[in-house]
Amino acid sequence: MIKTIQFYDLDKLESHDRSRLLVRTESDMAQFIEGVKPIIEKVKNEGDDALVYYAQEFDKSSITKHTIKAEPDDFDRAFKALDSNLIDSLKFAANRIKKFHEHQMPELMNFSEQFPGVFVGDRFSPIPSVACYVPRGKGSFPSVVLMTTIPAVVAGVKHAYVITPPGPNGKIDDATLVAAKLAGITEVYKCGGAQAVAAAAYGTETVPKAVKIVGPGSPWLVAAKKQLSDIIDPGTPAGPSESLILADGSASAEIAALDLIIESEHGPDSSAFLVTPNRDLAQKVISILPTLWAKMSENRADFSSTVLCGEKGGVILTKDMDQAIEFVNDYAPEHLEVLSKEPLNYLGKLITPGEILLGHHTPISLCNFDLGPNAVLPTSGAAETSSPLCVYDFLKMTSIGYVTSDAYPELAKHAHTIATYEGFDGHALAVSELRKKALEKL
C-alpha cells in the first residue's frame, strides 16, 4: 500500500486541528498508568523473581536470578567481541560528552559576604545514587549509556549503575557493556520497562535501590516513573523521540529530508515535522523522502514512513517564518534543527525547544551521539519548562547562611516585623528581645 506523507497548511487549519498537531503519544497516559500498576506491585513484592518473569514475558528472554547482574567476564567478552572501529567511535563520543559536562560543572561552593556581616551562598553535593535506564526494544543504544552515565560520574555520584532489558539470548548488548565501562560504570542489570523502574525504586535482592532514575523510554517506562514519583525521583521526562526541522527558503531540501528521517525512524510512537514557509521546499522534501526510505532497512523505513504519513508527523506549511517560529515555540520540541544559511537570525526568537541545532552542518545525529551536549531531552511539550539532562540532575544544592553579631540586629528587626504580620509567634519570639538577652550571655 502506498503511503501519503501528511501535508498541512497551517494558515488554513481550524484551531482544534492545529492543536491536534501538538499532541504526542504520551499525552494520554491513562491506559499506561493502569497497565503498569500490577507490574510495579509484583516487583515490589517478589523482587528478582518478578524480574525473571517479566524478562521472559516482555523481552522473550530467559534469565535467572543469578544472571540479572553483568559479571566482570561479560565486560571483557564484550570488548573482545565488539568491532574495534565502534570501540574507537564510542571512545571519541565519550571524550566529547565528558568534556562538555565537565565544563558545565558549577563551583561546588559559592559563599560570599553580600552585605556587611551577612555571608550567604550555595553548596553543591552529588546525589548518593542513580539508575541510568537504557532502552533496547527498538535497537541497542550505547549512546544512551554515555549520555546518562557520564554526567553522573562527572558530578561525583558514588553509586551509579545501568539498567537495560536483556536480549532474546539473555545477554546484555556488547556495546552497552563497553560504553558503561568507558564511562566508569561497572554495574549493569538486566531489566527493562516498568519493572526496571520498580526495581530501582524499591530495590530487589540484586538490583540496588536508587534515589533517582534517568533515561528515555517508551510510554510504559514514562507511566511507571509517574506512578512511582513519590518513591524515586523520575528525572527528565524523556519519552518517545520527537523533532521539528525549521527551514527557510535558503535551506537545502535534500538535507531537510535527510534530517526529517532521523527521529522518525525511532518508532511509530515518535513525532517528526518539517516546518517551513516555503512551498517549493516542502514539495521537494516530500518527493525526496521515499527515495531515502528505499535506502533504509525495511524496519526503520517502516517506522519513519509510519510517523511521517500518520498523525504525529509530516510537513507543515506556514505563511511566513514568524508563524513557523510561533508553532515551534507552541510545540516545545525535544529536538529542533534550524536549516538556513543564516540560522543565528532566528535563535533569539526560539524559546521552548529542548535543544536547538543551527545550520546545515549540525544534524540531530551529531548531538545524539558525539557533539557533547546531552541527548536525553524533555519530550511531549515538557521542554517548555524542563531542561536537558545535565550535571545538575546529579547534584543537590544546599543554601548556606552565616550572620555576624554586628549584622544580626537589623535583620532581626525586619524579620520580627514580617513574622508578626504573618501571625507566626514562634518566628517572632526567636528574633525578639529574648534572643538578644540570650546572646548577651554567650
pLDDT at 26: 64
Q: Grid coordinates representing 10? A: 497551517
The Cα-based distances of 30 to 26, 33, 121, 199, 222 in angstroms read 10, 5, 43, 22, 11
Whether 334 sits among the annotated catalytic residues: the reply is: yes
Q: What is the mean pLDDT of residues 326-346?
A: 98
pLDDT at 275: 98
Average pLDDT for the chain: 96
DSSP H or E stretch at residue 307: helix 298-308
Is the pLDDT assigned to residue 200 strictly greater than 90? yes
- Confidence tier at 353 by pLDDT (50, 70, 90): very high
Q: What is the mean pLDDT of residues 92-96?
A: 98
pLDDT at 239: 80
What would the pLDDT profile of 395-415 be if each residue is shown by its tens digit?
A: 999 999 999 999 999 999 999
Q: Grid coordinates representing 205? A: 535482592
Lookup result for grid cell 521537494 = 284
What would the pLDDT profile of 301-330 be if each residue is shown by its tens digit?
A: 999 999 999 999 999 999 999 999 999 999
pLDDT at 238: 84
Is the pLDDT assigned to residue 163 strictly greater than 70? yes
Q: What is the mean pLDDT of residues 86-96?
A: 98
Relative to beta strand 109-115, strand 118-126 is antiparallel
Is the pLDDT assigned to residue 100 strictly greater than 80? yes
What would the pLDDT profile of 206-229 be if each residue is shown by its tens digit?
A: 999 999 999 998 889 999 999 999
β-sheet with 109-115: strand ranges across: 109-115, 118-126, 395-403
Q: Strand runs (DSSP E) across 264-378, as ranges?
A: 271-276, 313-317, 335-339, 355-358
pLDDT at 219: 86
Is the pLDDT assigned to residue 127 strictly greater than 60? yes
Tell me the whole-structure pTM to 2 decimals.
0.92
Return contacts of 102-111, CB within 8 angstroms, 24+ apart. 102/154, 104/151, 104/390, 104/391, 104/392, 105/154, 105/155, 105/391, 106/391, 106/392, 106/395, 111/400
Report which of 390, 71, 58 is spatially closest to residue 196, judged by C-alpha positions. 58
pLDDT at 24: 87
| Phi, then psi, of 125 in degrees rounded to 5 | -135, 140
What would the pLDDT profile of 177-193 be if each residue is shown by its tens digit?
A: 999 999 999 999 999 99
Q: Which of 334, 337, 355, 416 is catalytic?
A: 334
Whether 159 sits among the annotated catalytic residues: the reply is: no
What would the pLDDT profile of 135-157 be if each residue is shown by its tens digit?
A: 987 678 999 999 999 999 999 99
Percent with pLDDT over 70 in the chain = 99
DSSP 338: E
Q: Measured between alpha carbons, how far is 438 from 434 in angstroms, rounded to an integer?
A: 6
Q: Which of 26, 101, 242, 335 is catalytic?
A: 335
What would the pLDDT profile of 372-392 be if each residue is shown by its tens digit?
A: 999 999 999 999 999 999 999
What would the pLDDT profile of 245-280 be if each residue is shown by its tens digit?
A: 999 999 999 999 999 999 999 989 899 999 999 999
